[in-house]
Amino acid sequence: VDVTAKGMDIFGKLHSFNAVKDASSSKHFLYDGTRGKGVHTFKANRMPETSFILLSGLLGLTGFEVESNKNFFYDPAAVSAHINASKTFDYFKNIHGRNSLDNNGMKLVSTVHIGDKWNNAAWNGKQMLYGDGDGQRMISLSGGLDVIAHEMTHGVIEKTTNLIYENESGAINESIADIFGAFAENKTGEGLWLLGEDIWTPGIQGDALRSMSDPGSVYIGGYTEDGYYPDHYDKRYLGELDRGGVHINSSINNKAAQLITDGGTHYGVTVNGIGKARTEKIFYRALTLYLTPSSGFAEMRQAAIQAARDLHPDRNGAPSLEVQAVMAAYDAIGVY
Ligand SMILES: Cc1cccc(C(=O)O)c1OC(=O)C1CC1
Ligand SMILES: [Zn+2]
**Which amino acid appears at position 150 of this protein?**
H
Mean pLDDT of the chain: 95
* 223 three-state secondary structure: helix
For the entire predicted model, the pTM comes to 0.95
Ligand 2 centre and the CA of 146: distance in Å? 11
170 lines ligand 1 (CB under 6 A): no
Ligand 1 centre and the CA of 217: distance in Å? 18
113 lines ligand 1 (CB under 6 A): no
- Beta strand 128-130 with 121-123: parallel, antiparallel or unpaired? antiparallel
Tell me how far apart the alpha carbons of residues 58 and 282 are, in angstroms, rounded to a whole number: 37
The DSSP element (H or E) to which 243 belongs, if any, is helix 241-245
Give phi and psi for 227, each to the nearest 5: 85, 5
Selected catalytic residue, list 49, 151, 168, 174: 151
CB 256 within 8 A of CB 333: yes
Using the atom order of ligand 1, give the atom closest to the CA of residue 138: 1
Catalytic: 168? no
The DSSP element (H or E) to which 7 belongs, if any, is strand 2-8
Q: ∠97-168-314 over CA atoms, to 5°? A: 50
121 lines ligand 1 (CB under 6 A): yes
Q: What is the pLDDT of residues 267-297, one digit of tens each?
A: 999 999 999 999 999 999 999 999 999 999 9
Catalytic: 240? no
Residue 279: C-alpha distances to residues 95, 307, 320 (Å): 12, 10, 14
Interface predicted TM-score (ipTM): 0.96
- Cβ-based neighbour number of residue 192 at 10 Å: 19
Tell me how far apart the alpha carbons of residues 282 and 290 are, in angstroms, rounded to a whole number: 11
- Per-position pLDDT tens, the chain of length 336: 788 999 999 999 999 999 988 878 778 899 999 999 999 999 999 899 999 999 998 899 999 999 898 889 999 999 999 999 999 999 999 999 999 999 999 999 999 999 999 999 999 989 999 999 999 999 999 999 999 999 999 999 999 999 999 999 999 999 999 999 999 999 998 899 999 999 999 999 989 999 999 999 999 988 888 999 999 999 999 999 999 999 999 999 999 999 999 999 999 999 999 999 999 999 999 999 999 999 999 999 999 999 999 999 999 999 999 999 999 999 999 999
Q: Name which of 201, 220, 327 is nearest 274 in CA terms.
A: 327
> Which residues, 6+ apart, have CB-to-CB distance to 121 below 8 Å?
128, 129, 130, 131, 141, 142, 147, 148, 150, 151
DSSP class of 112 = E
47 lines ligand 1 (CB under 6 A): no
> Which residues, 6+ apart, have CB-to-CB distance to 75 below 8 Å?
7, 43, 66, 67, 112, 113
The confidence score (pLDDT) of residue 225 equals 87
124 lines ligand 1 (CB under 6 A): no
Selected catalytic residue, list 247, 266, 280, 322: 247
Looking at the CA of 115, which ligand is closest?
1
Nearest CA to ligand 1 atom 3: 120
Q: Per residue, what are the HEC states of 203-219? A: CCCCCCCEECCCHHHCE
